[in-house]
Amino acid sequence: MSDTLADAIDALLAPWADAMGADRTAYTHHVLRVLELCDLVAPPGTPRPSERTEFLVAAAFHDLGIWSAGTFDYLPPSVALAETHLRDTDAAALIPTVTAMIEHHHKLRHAGAADDPVEIFRRADAIDVELALLGRFGVPRRTYRALTRRYPDAGFHKRLLALAGQRLRTHPTSPLPMLEW
* pLDDT single digits (tens) 71-84: 888 999 999 999 99
CA distances from 174 to 3, 33, 145, 165 (A): 39, 28, 32, 12
pLDDT tens readout for residues 133-156: 888 899 999 999 999 999 999 999
pLDDT of 1 higher than 60: no
Task: Work out the angle at residue 161's Cα, subtended by the Cα atoms of residues 143 and 68, and round it to the nearest 5 degrees.
Answer: 95
CA distances from 101 to 63, 141, 158 (A): 11, 25, 24
Specify the 3-state DSSP secondary structure of 111.
coil
Boundaries of every domain in the chain: 3-170
Specify the 3-state DSSP secondary structure of 169.
helix
Specify the 3-state DSSP secondary structure of 180.
strand
* Statement: the pTM of the whole predicted model exceeds 0.85: yes
pLDDT of residue 19: 95
Residue 51's pLDDT band (cuts 50, 70, 90): very high
Of 167, 165, 159, 162, residue with least CA distance to 26? 159
pLDDT tens readout for residues 75-123: 999 999 999 999 999 999 999 999 999 999 988 787 888 999 999 999 9
Specify the 3-state DSSP secondary structure of 107.
strand
CB neighbour list of residue 104: distance below 8 Å, 6 or more residues apart: 111, 118, 122, 180
How many other C-beta atoms can be found within 10 angstroms of the C-beta atom of residue 17?
Answer: 12
pLDDT of residue 118: 96
Task: Work out the angle at residue 125's Cα, subtended by the Cα atoms of residues 119 and 129, and round it to the nearest 5 degrees.
Answer: 145
